Chains A and B, each alone.
Chain A
Amino acid sequence: MDAIVADNISKVFRLNEDPSQSIKERIVRMGRSRYRDFVALEPLDLTIAQGSTMGILGHNGSGKSTLLKCLSGILKPTTGTIQLRGRLASLLELGAGFHPELTGRENVYINAAFLGINRREIDRIFDDIVAFADLAQFIDEPVKHYSSGMYVRLGFAVAVNVDPDILLVDEVLAVGDEVFQRRCLDRIRHFQQEGRTIVVVTHAADLVRQVCDRAIVLHHGKLVADARPGEAIHVFREHLQGTMVEGGAAAPPPSGALRIVGATITHAHEAERRYIEPGEALEVRVMYESDIDVDSPTLEIVVHSADGQSVFAVDLDLAAHGLPPLGRSGCITVPFTSVPLLDGTFTVDFGLTDRRDPQHTAQRQGRDEFDVLNPTDGRGVAAVTVGRLQHRAG
């Protein structure tokens, strides 16, 4: 059975070219308004099976929030229909319906009423909500005295305790502290086990891989993929790259006696490919210029993940690798035969130093990146290959 069936839905926003909102203007123009139509969502069909967890991936402005708002009923689609089976709760804006002057208790009732739930049912689950939010002492305080964490906790507690059949999750997991995020994830897992339908909207590919069993990718309002998470993330990354601007213009030109003037990171065999898959080979080239003789050059390569963690670092003693001393200019090629990383965009920093005379040093930081796209379902940070399984009875 399908929990959500969206049939040919689209959303067109009317942008007023001349945003004067007065009656006089309207009368003067006699209704001939100058409008520009902006297609936020091109017609698409979407079916989400009951009990499944669907990810919606897309960069900012891709239409993913519009789609979610249509699914939740905040916006109505311009064309098409959406059929929803069962109660829908959304974790879009936790505590959005709260009124600061009212107490936590009163707000719980109103918030649940926004979800279409009657008083008797709220009476029944009220204690669960308060216990889950861990706010028993403060429940009769006006929520304007709550901290933002308490606010979100109460909103979350209402949303997950109203027994929804369909749960919509926006970037909400990105807010709140780590404990709260873990709790959200736990709750999502719990919901999955109970056979509820979950729709997660995010641009965090890892989250999709962690929790979803299917994902769609939106790009400029178009549905460009509807597949298993691995494949969808693959498509998502490729589209994301298409929109990326070539950066690095802001960096000052290298100066000093020894300079790194350029670097490239490519797939070892297909130079035009902009990403590698886990475990594939990567080729790094570093172009340098030098006004001095560098007899004992050391090339330092540090790879960072998107959150700034150093994933690996090597100091290559070029002489020990059999390279001649550096000339006035040249290019050093470093092949990495296997890069066992999973998903992500990784930043590479370079350093070139004369070991004999460390004051001669050149840096190039944060300007070069490479992507790893993981088409499989593996999760985590490292790509570990599994050999042949064996089983011996007894």
Chain B
Amino acid sequence: MSATVGNTGELRVIAARRSNTQQLREIWQYRELLLGLIRKELKVRYKNSVLGFFWSMAQPVFLLCIYSLVFSILDAGFDDFPIWILCGLVVWTLVSTTLSTSVQAITTNQHLVSKVAFPRAVMPLATLGSALVHFVLQSIALAVVLVIVRHPVDWEYVWLLPIAVAVLTLFLSSLALLLSTINVYARDTQHLLDLALVAMFWANPIVYAYQLSSDWFVDHGWPAWTPLLNPFTSVIIVFQRAIYGSAFVGDRQLLPDQGPLWYLGNLGILFLVAVVCCIVGLRMFDKAEGNFAEIL
């Protein structure tokens, strides 16, 4: 330990309100903690389980099998239907795990919140981080499957994938902040979210084709882009277009017959939405953060 204390220590200000940039700077300062919490969450979750990380694959694989089976019995699928499902499912698993774990990020860590000082935003973000780790592992597994079954991807669209993931991450981080805050004040949020997630699953073109819902809306006098109002859809169809590799199966249309820029445009809109949500989320979090310790 050094024997002297410098006068150049960094100045920190605690006040009732802070600007978004201050918040972001603080989160950046605590990036080590963020990584540490992600590591902790992964370690704790798979502790004492023999298969460890393989369990993170179990749920999507299981869902995949069930949906493939059910839809083939109903004869509602199409060629390479499991690949199609898999594209939507990896994205959806990221969304649903992030939302369902982040909603409780603060309420389940009462002991920390009331006793240790650190930017609380790190906690919901850490749940997103650990979901992202799983997402990466599942994506690798998906890639392996593609290689094994020699499924051709559409390289013209593959470059959109990292952008889609980045935009989705931004959007999810704003939702994680919002949900974790609201749940402190109203614990019903976590239960409502469970229901909402079930509805959201079917509202996304995961086990059916985007074109199917789009056509349905057109038939009922709505614009064709109505399904895109669901923010996760823009991301899911990028995955499907790039990895499933075709907008058509036979002469049946699955996805809009558009170039990569159309898909990029959708992501752009989602990006703007995500930025607005982030600002709102950070504001709200900042306002509530100082009271977490007393409410819990």
B contact residues around A77 at 8 Å (CB): 14-16, 290
| Cross-interface CB contact of A90 among B2, B32, B117, cutoff 8 Å | B117
A116 touches B290 (CB 8 A): no
Q: A13 on the interface (CB 8 Å rule)?
A: yes
| Cross-interface CB contact of B13 among A13, A81, A119, cutoff 8 Å | A81
Q: A319 on the interface (CB 8 Å rule)?
A: no
In the complex the two chains form, what is the Cα distance from A97 to B10 in whole Å?
24
Binding site for A on B (CB under 8 A): 1-7, 9-16, 29-30, 32-33, 35-37, 39-40, 43-44, 47, 111-118, 185-189, 192, 289-291, 293-294
20 contacts between A and B (CB under 8 A): A71-B14, A73-B118, A74-B293, A75-B294, A76-B14, A76-B15, A77-B15, A82-B15, A84-B14, A85-B10, A86-B6, A87-B10, A88-B117, A101-B44, A114-B33, A114-B117, A114-B118, A128-B1, A163-B2, A194-B3
In the complex the two chains form, what is the Cα distance from A22 to B189 in whole Å?
9
Which of A83, A85, A117, A128: most chain B Cβ within 10 A?
A85
A192 → chain B closest CB, angstroms: 11
A113 touches B32 (CB 8 A): yes
A113 and B33 in contact, given A21-B187, A101-B47 (Cβ under 8 angstroms): yes
A90 → chain B closest CB, angstroms: 7
| Cross-interface CB contact of A97 among B9, B15, B44, B112, cutoff 8 Å | B112
| Cross-interface CB contact of B16 among A79, A118, A161, cutoff 8 Å | A79
A172 → chain B closest CB, angstroms: 12
A110 touches B4 (CB 8 A): no
Q: A106 on the interface (CB 8 Å rule)?
A: yes
Residue of A nearest to B2 (CB): A163
B40 touches A163 (CB 8 A): no
In the complex the two chains form, what is the Cα distance from A79 to B14 in whole Å?
10
Q: A224 on the interface (CB 8 Å rule)?
A: no
A69 and B293 in contact, given A77-B15, A85-B9 (Cβ under 8 angstroms): yes
| Cross-interface CB contact of A119 among B32, B37, B118, cutoff 8 Å | B32
B183 → chain A closest CB, angstroms: 10
List 5 A-B pairs, minimum CB-CB distance, nearest first.
Answer: A76-B290, A86-B9, A73-B117, A113-B33, A96-B115
B188 → chain A closest CB, angstroms: 5
Residue of B nearest to A97 (CB): B116
B contact residues around A351 at 8 Å (CB): none
A110 and B111 in contact, given A13-B294, A77-B16 (Cβ under 8 angstroms): no
In the complex the two chains form, what is the Cα distance from A76 to B12 in whole Å?
13
Residue of A nearest to B34 (CB): A113
| Cross-interface CB contact of A80 among B15, B32, B113, B192, cutoff 8 Å | B15
In the complex the two chains form, what is the Cα distance from A119 to B294 in whole Å?
31
| Cross-interface CB contact of A96 among B13, B111, B188, cutoff 8 Å | B111
Q: A362 on the interface (CB 8 Å rule)?
A: no
Q: A301 on the interface (CB 8 Å rule)?
A: no
B9 touches A106 (CB 8 A): no
| Cross-interface CB contact of A23 among B32, B186, B294, cutoff 8 Å | B186
B contact residues around A119 at 8 Å (CB): 32
Residue of B nearest to A85 (CB): B9
B192 → chain A closest CB, angstroms: 8
Q: A51 on the interface (CB 8 Å rule)?
A: yes
B70 → chain A closest CB, angstroms: 34
B contact residues around A97 at 8 Å (CB): 112, 115-116
A103 → chain B closest CB, angstroms: 10
B contact residues around A161 at 8 Å (CB): 1
A contact residues around B291 at 8 Å (CB): 14, 75-76
A contact residues around B294 at 8 Å (CB): 13, 75
Residue of B nearest to A14 (CB): B291
Residue of A nearest to B12 (CB): A84
B188 touches A72 (CB 8 A): no
A74 touches B44 (CB 8 A): no
In the complex the two chains form, what is the Cα distance from A140 to B29 in whole Å?
28
B187 touches A86 (CB 8 A): no
| Cross-interface CB contact of A92 among B1, B2, B115, cutoff 8 Å | B115
In the complex the two chains form, what is the Cα distance from A65 to B175 in whole Å?
33
B contact residues around A195 at 8 Å (CB): 4-5
**Which positions 51-102 of chain A face chain B at CB distance < 8 Å?**
51, 69-88, 90, 92-93, 96-97, 99, 101-102
B11 touches A84 (CB 8 A): yes
A50 and B5 in contact, given A70-B14, A96-B111, A113-B33 (Cβ under 8 angstroms): yes
**Which positions 1-57 of chain A face chain B at CB distance < 8 Å?**
1, 13-14, 21-24, 26, 50-51
In the complex the two chains form, what is the Cα distance from A87 to B118 in whole Å?
12
B contact residues around A21 at 8 Å (CB): 185-188
Q: A231 on the interface (CB 8 Å rule)?
A: no
B5 touches A51 (CB 8 A): yes
B36 touches A113 (CB 8 A): yes
A contact residues around B5 at 8 Å (CB): 50-51, 86, 165, 194-196
Q: A180 on the interface (CB 8 Å rule)?
A: no
A75 and B40 in contact, given A83-B12, A114-B118 (Cβ under 8 angstroms): no
Residue of B nearest to A7 (CB): B15
A contact residues around B13 at 8 Å (CB): 81-84
A74 touches B10 (CB 8 A): no
B contact residues around A24 at 8 Å (CB): 188
Q: A146 on the interface (CB 8 Å rule)?
A: no
